[in-house]
Amino acid sequence: MKKTFLILGILSVAILVFATLRPSVHKIEIQEKLQSRELYVEFRETGWVTPRNRLEIKSPFAGRIEKILVNEGDEIKKGQIIIWMSSSERAAMIDAARAISDEEYVRWQEIYKPTPIVAPMSGFIIYRQKEPGQTVTASDGILVMADDLIINAQIDETDLRYISIGKKLSMYLDAYPQELFEGVIEHISYESRIISNVTVYEIRIKPISKPKVFRSGMTATITISAESKSNAKSISDSFITEKDGKKTVIVNTGSGKKLVFETKEVTTGVTDGKYTEIISGLNDTDTVVILRQQKKAKTKSLMRNK
């Protein structure tokens, strides 16, 4: 009886070894060896072009706009006169003088001067809301100006470890995807926000060289480099199978025309979504393979014949 069990045990081990190492009847679909590659891990975020400081220019009193001396896109300096305003009283008096005679109109124009409105900061005009001749109140905006245009983006808290103040990023405007430009992170907010149940932090990015088409409100796509590794011994992701937390590959351990396949467990490192670094489990001489699934191919063929 013991002899019988011993024989059965030996046969079981022999069958297991034979099943693992026997020459395969399958054909190799693809094969590859470890190669040294430059692996870059990147992720993308959406941002918006916004003024760093946005300022709405209003009249300090109710009245009529006489002249607007600037247009959208104009560069202006702090203290520069950008609007001439008439108070409601001056507008009424000037209109009455005009009705009397041209001489009276000219005389009152000299006596009762309009009031200048000056730029409170250096920058440029991004929006012109009113035109000369319109009456406004002290709460009506006439112009909108900005000191600079930057890009605001919201970063998931799990990605904060990949960014820092001073880090350079590459970007493009969604309206002009072929025109890449660089920016640098100049601020990371200290307070989070909850958006769609996700904790995010706002970052400000200063463009190093702005495209000519840069406009407030544009959408931008930002590419952030998370990790990179030079000379990483890697293989294509398609060779790696993951199950129950373990990653394995199939290796051809045969020689010459003799094909023998063995499954090996590997430890992986950096991955860029296409290639994955192999830290351990493979040698430079190992050839990883993907086997052609003949049975599945026949099934598909039958289905097509039907």
List, for residues 33-92, the tens digit of each pLDDT value.
Answer: 999 998 888 888 999 999 999 999 999 999 999 999 999 999 999 999 999 999 999 999
Question: 206: closest CA among 181, 177, 225, 174?
Answer: 181
> Could you give the residue range(s) of every CATH 2.40.30.170 domain in the chain?
42-51+149-229
Beta carbons within 10 angstroms of residue 103's beta carbon: 9
Question: 153: closest CA among 46, 299, 235, 230?
Answer: 46
CATH topology of domain 23-39+231-305: 2.40.420
CATH topology of domain 59-146: OB fold (Dihydrolipoamide Acetyltransferase, E2P) (2.40.50)
Residue 226's pLDDT is: 79
Residue 304's pLDDT is: 39
Beta carbons within 10 angstroms of residue 47's beta carbon: 25
Question: Which residues of the chain fall below pLDDT 50?
Answer: 2, 5, 13, 16-24, 296-306
Q: Token pair for residue 80? A: 């520069």
User: CA of 37: how far to CAs of 40, 83, 93, 233, in Å?
Assistant: 10, 61, 80, 7
Three-state SS string over 77-112 comes to CCCCEEEEEEEHHHHHHHHHHHHHCHHHHHHHHHHC
Residue 263's pLDDT is: 93
Residue 256's pLDDT is: 75
CA 110 – CA 126 distance, rounded (Å)? 33
CA 277 – CA 40 distance, rounded (Å)? 11
- Name 48's bridge partners: 152, 219
At position 257, the amino acid (one-letter code) is K
The pTM of the whole model exceeds 0.85:
no
> Could you give the residue range(s) of every CATH 2.40.50.100 domain in the chain?
59-146
Angle at 26 between CA 25 and CA 31, to 5 degrees: 135
CATH topology of domain 42-51+149-229: Elongation Factor Tu (Ef-tu); domain 3 (2.40.30)
> Could you give the residue range(s) of every CATH 2.40.420.20 domain in the chain?
23-39+231-305
User: CA of 111: how far to CAs of 63, 105, 198, 226, in Å?
Assistant: 18, 10, 63, 67
Question: Looking only at Cα atoms, what is the longest distance across the chain?
Answer: 134
CA 250 – CA 187 distance, rounded (Å)? 48
Residue 259's pLDDT is: 84
| pLDDT, the chain, mean | 86
CB burial of 4-20 (b: ≥16 within 10 Å; e: otherwise) equals: eeeeeeeeeeeeeeeee
Sheet holding 81-87, edge to edge: 115-118, 81-87, 63-68, 135-136
Residue 9's pLDDT is: 54
